[in-house]
Structure 1
Amino acid sequence: MVGGKRSRNFDDDDGYRDFRPRMPKRQRVPPVVQLCKEMMPDIRTLGESVKAFEEDIKFLSEAIANEFGNEEYFQDALFKTLYAVIVEQPHKQPAIALLTMVVNAANPVAGKRILNHIFGKLQEWCTSTIDDNLQVTSSETGPWNKIKLLLRFLSLLSPMVEEDELILLYQRLFALSVSLNNVNPQKRNPLSEAVYCNTLLNIPYLFFFSRENESLKGKVAELIASVESSYLVKSTNLSLIKEYNTKSPYEPVQWVMAVLPNVKRVLSNEMQQISELFPDYSAMMKPQPGNQGFNDPLNLPTAEQLEPFSGLDRGMGSIDGMWKVPRYSFRVYLPNEVGEFETVVPFTTYAGMLFEDVILDIVESMEFNRKEVAKQVVTLDLFFKPGIFTEPGQSIAQLIALHEENPIITTHKIEDLAIEKILSMIFKLPNVSHPFAYFYTLLVEICQNSPKAIAPVFGRAFRYFFNNLDDLDLELKLRYLDWFSIQMSNFNFSWKWNEWEEVSVRHRDTFYSPKVTFMRNLIRKELRLTSSKSDVEESLTDEFKSYMESSFVPRSDLTNYYQSFFKDFQVDSGLLKDNTIFFTQSCFPFNEMIQDVINYFHKQPLERNVSELTAIFQEIQKNYGNIISDFNRFVVTTLMQSLAFSGNRSLSHANKYIGDSRNDLIEVFKNMEADQGLKERWIVEAIIRYWNSNSQNGYLIVDTCKNFELVSAKAILDFSFLEDQGRNWGLVDATSMESTFRTLTELSQRRDASVETFVFMFERLSEIASDTVNQLGTASDVAVMAPESDSAIAELELVWKYESCLGFIKSVLRKYADEYATSVEPLSAILNAKISHQRTKEVVSNWLNELQLL
């Protein structure tokens, strides 16, 4: 006992509690796991550091050669990593191939296993090409694109692999492309083109490490001669998928037409172009016996087995799907825009075609890692021969000065190349591979990583599309609008609006001018993207501040709308306010009863009785019916605007109010002696007029009414394309156009959807086009042309209206080709009945004929 207390023996279990925090025991990581954690990231980033490349090859090859065969865990991790890099980051394939061959020299068993693992993957994808149950993920580029990439990697291993085995792979694939091409000699075969182009594009990779191999050169020359003589290139001109309607700022080039000449040129002149394109890794190479072969021959499906899949329209993956229609080159950065020199490697060269192919693969296959994509596409130059591109970040002014000083110096910018190829995916017709948000945020990411270098590149693209707006496809105008507005909202709306002031001053008061329409829609969209109106206003010059008015129709039109409800009664337009029911204002003698209607909708559904609602309107009709011109229209408008007002806090609130009140509305509407189509038009008009200050909200709430079967899709489209004293809002307002495409898209996704609404859309647009060309008085056999002078504004407006209408027809036919392709006969009958102008009829008739090819 010490001090009256028993001494505590900490060895005894006598109730002592240790209050120290108990940490989980650190598990000992097995050495092989630790090795993989250290090595696999180094393999994934191989080549990103040019200075460390040789050391990395030496270190990694020694580790793989020594470790291979000891642990299955290591082999599995290695195979997965190598495969992922090969198919997701194809620009790193040469580095991986070099690593593989250095390993093969030290450990042929390891080399053989890697070779056959990749060959096994090639066989798996060949087998999957005829699998009806193939599951396609968001980042899946497609089995044929995987086959392309795996063949490219095997081609890089040419010093290591038996020549005849590699040549046989090419022969088999070319024979397949020829067979598919010959299934229908008159018709383009998408899969045949994909296999033909992909396989040709890989041929130069056979010589990456084998430029002095004369035997291989001879066999490849025979291979190319054989495919050139047996493959009939079919040039298909589809006007429906052209980015520009009449005049294109450049001549698009088809992949299938350009690939063989590009490959032949790159192999000519003792492969000088290959030496200028591919880096020289010979100092790091180890001698290869060249005797490695594949365990089994490649088993390819037959043309007959592949024929049902050859349209590439059955969920085959994002890049495979691009071959469904003819693939064309896409340009943004044209030489005449900067000073008669190219900033992007031309598509009519092998290098230009290859760079496009590689960037598309990176962007499409690594959609799950946007930050990595943003990094890889602007550092692509590290993996090719130095000197192809200028120093990153050089301005156009610097390039002009350098070019004047030395005309043979390179002017190609890696930033221009990367941005142009990503824009080509945003502006791809007929379909985009991923949700637009992926591409938009990818571009934001690239710019945030290097704003000084990238912001000017964006600026040049903005100007290019704006300058070519008149001829740009309608759907692409909307994509351009989205991209521009998102970029601006992410960069404090900083755009030099004074560049466009001249256009605005000249055509400010026009309705259909493509450029003025774009500027109006852009500013309105920017206002919707921010809670701070002042941010947008501060970015604008005085000339553009008038476009800050976000109303769908002018205030005078809104006043006339409300005045049209009354006779012998004058409305007070001074009381018109945004997002408020006009009928509750003090100038109306029944305003308190309108408030009773609103109060009715604020009750819980179980507390309501529709007779109460009916009684309110009966009293209004009894006391004030003599001043109301059409009481049914007044009732419909009041009910719908009361619901819009009650739910104006958010779309979800609006949805709830409309959903809760649906049965009451149907009960009231069914007792009206009015045509159903007229009632639906009143509903749509009431909501859009209520939300005049934010028509996007209005159209989204109209969608809710459609979902609750209060209005039809046809009613929405009918309202959007109403003629109003020569003005047709559906042709110019972005929220209306978005509503049209949204309505038709939702309809096309319904299994029970009828084509009736699609036919109505075509008929309505045909009527507008016909009326417009008749007003112009253009001779039947003469194409509609803009007047030579801008001073003929009235004529110019009609030309713009006509072109907008034709552009809309082109876009809906392309976008909903499946629906329209089943109705070509009735569409042709409508065309002949509605349009007498021969040249217009020829253009639209040609589009109808193309529907079967989409």
Structure 2
Amino acid sequence: MILADYEEESGYREARPHFSKRQRLPPVVMLCKDMMPDIRTMGESAKAFPEDIKFLSEAIVHEFGNEEYFNNALLKTFRAVVLEQPHKQPGIALLTMVLNSAKPEIGKSVLNYFFDQVQALLNSSHDSEYETKSHDTGPWDKIKLILRFISILSPMVIPDDLIELYRRLLQFAIDINNSTEKRSPLSEAIYTNTLLNIPYLFYFNSDNRASLKTLVEDVLIFVENDYKIKDSDIELLKAYNKNSPYEPVHWVTAVLPNVKDALANEMQQLSSVFLNYDSLLTQQTTIHSFNEPLNLPTLEQILPFSGLDKGFGSVDSLWKTPRYSFEVYLPNSVGPFATVIPTTTYTGMLFQDILLDIIESMEFNRLEVARQLVTIDLFFAPGIFTEPGLPVAQLLEQFEENHSGTTFKIEDLAVGAILQLTFKLPTVSQSFAYFYSLLVEICKNSPKAIAPVFGRAFRFFYNNLDKLDFELKARFLDWFSIQMGNFNFSWKWNEWETDSVQWCRTTYNPRVIFIKNLIRKELRLTSNSADVEESVTDEFQKYMDPSFIKREDLIHYYSSLFKNFQLDEDDLRNNELYFRSPSFPFYESVINILDFFHKQPDTRSIAELENILKDVADVHGSIIEDFNRFTVTLLIQAIVFCGSRSLSHANKYIDDSREELKAILAQIEVSPEVKDQWICEAVIRYWNKNSQNGYLILDSLRYNGLVSSGAVLNFSLTEQYGVNMSLVDSTSIESIFRILNELAIATDKNVEPFEYVFNRLVGAANDVVSQLNTSDAIVVPDLDQEVQATDEELPLLDLAWKYESIMGFLKSILRKYSDEFSVLTEKTITNVSQGVTHEPTKQQLNRWILEAAEL
């Protein structure tokens, strides 16, 4: 952690409470408390930077070597900045070289300290006991950052020693790569990270530059000849299921050409990116070497860890699967220019790398991350970005006047970097809460500048919803709803009115599904539905009903419980127990059941409950269609009603009544599967207006052994009144993922539920293909193009969207639970070959199944 690491290890922090109020801390501690924060913020003010270098260097020269406490504090502060705020490395390097000129032993100490850090990280890289903290980026990412810092120190380091570091690491990457026929995540990480640092050797225009350039050219020729990039076209990892709006850039493929371009033409690209600190650099009369050669792990030691799948850090884990660019702000989206530096350039790749490191390494301080991301331009050459907060309309005007001016926006770059991590497949590196709150924080800091940036991202994802990965649609929905809730639900809904008018009669149109789920999420996020109602236009008022199933279907559900009895539809009210309505024939008995559940568990007996149910059966059994089903429905809805004030209340009533409910349910002579289905229906029908609450109650019933996980999965995957809710309702989809996530981390691993979900979805795909009656590939026109459909064509188009949703869901679960499906590879392929007759579907599924086994 960057805040006072040196205090933690010194003992002063722990000793502080023993000082009396009048007793002062030792002078060296007071000095560090004053000086180290200045080092951490150095460069944030360009005007004060030269003075900061002068003042800090003089103070450090005076103090260094006098007390171990100061030496340690200085080195630990340098390390924290280098690892957590890599954009500030050049300032720390400049300060180090000024110190080296004045007092060479300081420069030598800093160089050896960081060299030893690299060695320690290499040693830990193959240690099975290595433990990461939540903000630990991983040993290889840290090695990358320290190598970058050492490279900037090139004016005070012997060139051959520097190049030997690069050669050793790149040869290591080549050896790991050659040790396997498959792609090696660690090899690609070392290869890319090391090459990305090479231009930093030339940050300063020093006496070493000419000799360094010759040595670097030899290294680039060597690595270009010896490193073989391996195929990594994995469809499961693609953010778009079809017709991607851009061509993703493969990092390992792009890095070498980017670096070579950066070094070409007398390094003009670098001079336009790096700040020119040459005037502040003092003459380096003492040039250092490393004390000893770098000791790399053997192949035998490192290969078991080369998959980067053993929890070694958030950034290192990004390399577990092939790294591709993820773009949101495409060129020409707002005008004939780009607002984000393309990853096909060294500058674009470098900024992406630095932004991701800041986001990942400083997750413990969200406020500071939000500030650093949008001020990173201060640490690079002026002119790379436009004026902060410049509106797109004004940028377009400037571009039309001067095509040579920059159009890159720091806000687009920062938000895009966070979204890249938010939408990372197959898994995110941090919790979604961190990324979502970071986006909220950035917008709060500068709402006028950031809100339009969010708006363009919203439009981009919305326009590509029909192509976007199934799981990423859910992430987009979550992010959008959170932003809406934090900013008074304000959105220009009229932008989407055309889609609503055209497709409102469909069930599976991805844009209509998104709009419905978004409004329902917004309604759940506020206790005042008027806030949402006032924000949406007249066209969208019809989606303000958050019902899981339509009211007529709800009426049908309750009516099916009875015979020779007409229920009063007015008694079906939101979040209310229908059976306690005064017009209901035996509501007094229902009140008695509620009173029973309200009693303290030790003051009631199960006989009381049994007697109430017996009286109902004796007196009113003639109007009940199936008394077993009715008993389950009544008891479950009574418990849900008692706990309807909050989830904690619901959990309490379920916990208190668990044994009694189990005893009653055991007396009902139907199959467990049927009982479970009745329970799921009873809960979700009660919470018809808020199905999220219903599914969370089902979770509580699962944890208490009153309903099985398989039953909830079955309920979600079963078509209800002609609609597959697992494809259209976000709460149903979230429940499926929540259950599978729990099962995936369970110690007693059971792969049957994963196989069950897969087979159910395959069955649904087969049904759709049968209805479409085609042997050809099912292709749906892109919604970003003008799509028209007659009344006769609309049902077929809706079926095609349904098919795409099913296939998207299958792709997501194969990727997300690849460990579970890798055990089932042979069985799943056999089932698909035997159970799927539609050849395009069979080929697609078989490819994904094999890819899942490789993840």
The question of a shared fold, defined as TM-score above 0.5 by the shorter chain, is answered with: yes
Query: 1:786 deviation in Å?
Result: 4.5
Q: Which residue of 1 aligns with 2:131?
A: 135
Query: 1:650 deviation in Å?
Result: 1.0
Between 434-443 and 29-38, report the one with greater CA deviation. 29-38
Are 2:814 and 1:794 aligned? no
Q: 1:46 aligns with which of 42, 48, 62?
A: 42
Query: 1:135 deviation in Å?
Result: 1.0
Q: 2:192 aligns with which of 194, 197, 202?
A: 197
Are 2:648 and 1:669 aligned? no
- Aligned residue identity for 1:351: T
Are 2:550 and 1:549 aligned? no
Q: Which residue of 1 aligns with 2:23?
A: 27
Q: Which residue of 2 aligns with 1:710?
A: 706
Q: Which residue of 1 aligns with 2:386?
A: 390
Q: Which residue of 1 aligns with 2:535?
A: 539
Query: 1:145 deviation in Å?
Result: 0.2
- Aligned residue identity for 1:153: F
Q: 1:375 aligns with which of 371, 391, 402?
A: 371
Alignment check: 8 A CA contact 1:721 1:730 kept: yes
Are 2:63 and 1:63 aligned? no
Q: Which residue of 2 aligns with 1:568?
A: 564
Q: 2:154 aligns with which of 155, 158, 182?
A: 158
Query: 1:290 deviation in Å?
Result: 5.5
Alignment check: 8 A CA contact 1:235 1:257 kept: no
Q: How does 1:297-308 map to 2 (within 5 A)?
A: 297-308=293-304
Alignment check: 8 A CA contact 2:825 2:853 kept: no
Indicate the SS of the match to 1:558.
helix
Are 2:254 and 1:253 aligned? no
Are 2:474 and 1:478 aligned? yes
In 2, distance between residues paired with 1:611 and 1:27? Answer: 72
Q: Which residue of 2 aligns with 1:506?
A: 502
Query: 1:721 deviation in Å?
Result: 1.2
- Aligned residue identity for 2:619: N
Query: 1:753 deviation in Å?
Result: 2.8
Indicate the SS of the match to 2:795.
helix
Are 2:830 and 1:829 aligned? yes
Query: 1:29 deviation in Å?
Result: 3.2
In 1, distance between residues paired with 2:286 and 2:751? Answer: 61
Judged with a 3 Å threshold, the aligned counterparts in structure 2 of structure 1 residues 51 and 624 are, in CA distance, closer, same or farther, namely same
Alignment check: 8 A CA contact 1:415 1:454 kept: yes
Q: Which residue of 1 aligns with 2:395?
A: 399
In 2, distance between residues paired with 1:726 and 1:345? Answer: 48
In 2, distance between residues paired with 1:475 and 1:313? Answer: 21
In 2, distance between residues paired with 1:498 and 1:784? Answer: 29
Alignment check: 8 A CA contact 1:65 1:103 kept: yes
- Aligned residue identity for 1:526: E
Q: Which residue of 1 aligns with 2:4?
A: none
Query: 1:31 deviation in Å?
Result: 2.5
In 1, distance between residues paired with 2:662 and 2:21? Answer: 68
Indicate the SS of the match to 1:471.
coil
Query: 1:282 deviation in Å?
Result: 0.7
In 1, distance between residues paired with 2:61 and 2:383? Answer: 34
- Aligned residue identity for 2:41: T
Q: Which residue of 2 aligns with 1:208?
A: 203
Alignment check: 8 A CA contact 1:507 1:513 kept: yes
Alignment check: 8 A CA contact 1:773 1:784 kept: no
Alignment check: 8 A CA contact 1:378 1:415 kept: yes
In 1, distance between residues paired with 2:722 and 2:797? Answer: 13
Are 2:448 and 1:452 aligned? yes
Alignment check: 8 A CA contact 2:355 2:373 kept: yes
In 2, distance between residues paired with 1:486 and 1:512? Answer: 24
Alignment check: 8 A CA contact 2:155 2:284 kept: yes
- Give the count of matched residue pairs: 830
Query: 1:852 deviation in Å?
Result: 2.1
In 2, distance between residues paired with 1:36 and 1:622? Answer: 84
Between 78-87 and 744-753, report the one with greater CA deviation. 744-753
- Aligned residue identity for 1:537: E
Q: Which residue of 2 aligns with 1:689?
A: 685
Indicate the SS of the match to 1:36.
helix
In 2, distance between residues paired with 1:686 and 1:835? Answer: 34
In 2, distance between residues paired with 1:290 and 1:812? Answer: 59
RMSD: 1.3
Query: 1:27 deviation in Å?
Result: 1.7
Q: 2:586 aligns with which of 585, 590, 605?
A: 590
Indicate the SS of the match to 2:133.
coil
Aligned identity (percent) is 57
Q: How does 1:713-752 map to 2 (within 5 A)?
A: 713-752=709-748
Are 2:646 and 1:650 aligned? yes
Alignment check: 8 A CA contact 1:778 1:784 kept: no
Between 297-306 and 360-369, report the one with greater CA deviation. 297-306
Q: 1:240 aligns with which of 236, 241, 248?
A: 236
Judged with a 3 Å threshold, the aligned counterparts in structure 2 of structure 1 residues 211 and 405 are, in CA distance, closer, same or farther, namely farther
In 2, distance between residues paired with 1:699 and 1:359? Answer: 38
- Structure with greater Cα Rg: 1
Between 169-178 and 508-517, report the one with greater CA deviation. 508-517
Indicate the SS of the match to 1:638.
helix
In 1, distance between residues paired with 2:378 and 2:665? Answer: 69
In 1, distance between residues paired with 2:781 and 2:397? Answer: 39
Are 2:73 and 1:77 aligned? yes
Query: 1:627 deviation in Å?
Result: 2.1
Alignment check: 8 A CA contact 2:241 2:467 kept: yes
In 2, distance between residues paired with 1:85 and 1:593? Answer: 70
Between 639-648 and 24-33, report the one with greater CA deviation. 24-33
Unaligned runs of 5+ in 1: 1-22
1:666-718 C-alpha deviation (Å, 9 max, x unpaired)? 11111222011010111111001011111111000000110011111110010
- Aligned residue identity for 2:451: A
Judged with a 3 Å threshold, the aligned counterparts in structure 2 of structure 1 residues 418 and 718 are, in CA distance, closer, same or farther, namely same
Judged with a 3 Å threshold, the aligned counterparts in structure 2 of structure 1 residues 363 and 629 are, in CA distance, closer, same or farther, namely same
Query: 1:832 deviation in Å?
Result: 2.3
Alignment check: 8 A CA contact 2:778 2:800 kept: no
The TM-score with structure 1 as length reference comes to 0.96
Are 2:609 and 1:613 aligned? yes
Alignment check: 8 A CA contact 1:325 1:853 kept: no
Are 2:554 and 1:558 aligned? yes
Are 2:810 and 1:820 aligned? no
Query: 1:524 deviation in Å?
Result: 1.0
Are 2:213 and 1:217 aligned? yes
Q: Which residue of 2 aligns with 1:364?
A: 360
Query: 1:547 deviation in Å?
Result: 1.5
Q: 2:760 aligns with which of 752, 759, 764?
A: 764
Q: Which residue of 1 aligns with 2:15?
A: none
The TM-score with structure 2 as length reference comes to 0.96
- Aligned residue identity for 1:188: R
Q: 2:337 aligns with which of 334, 341, 357?
A: 341
Indicate the SS of the match to 2:591.
helix
In 1, distance between residues paired with 2:528 and 2:578? Answer: 27
Query: 1:30 deviation in Å?
Result: 2.7
Alignment check: 8 A CA contact 2:636 2:682 kept: yes
Q: 1:93 aligns with which of 86, 89, 95?
A: 89
1:217-275 C-alpha deviation (Å, 9 max, x unpaired)? 11000001001100001130111111111111101111111001100110111111111
Unaligned runs of 5+ in 2: 1-18
Alignment check: 8 A CA contact 2:553 2:721 kept: no
- Aligned residue identity for 1:807: G
Which aligned segments of 4 or more residues in structure 1 are displaced greater than 4 angstroms? Answer: none
Q: 1:782 aligns with which of 777, 780, 803?
A: 777
Q: 1:329 aligns with which of 325, 328, 332?
A: 325
In 2, distance between residues paired with 1:287 and 1:831? Answer: 71
Indicate the SS of the match to 1:277.
coil
In 2, distance between residues paired with 1:466 and 1:790? Answer: 21
Alignment check: 8 A CA contact 1:159 1:290 kept: no
Q: Which residue of 1 aligns with 2:415?
A: 419
In 2, distance between residues paired with 1:834 and 1:565? Answer: 36
In 2, distance between residues paired with 1:620 and 1:582? Answer: 16
Q: How does 1:117-128 map to 2 (within 5 A)?
A: 117-128=113-124
Q: Which residue of 2 aligns with 1:529?
A: 525
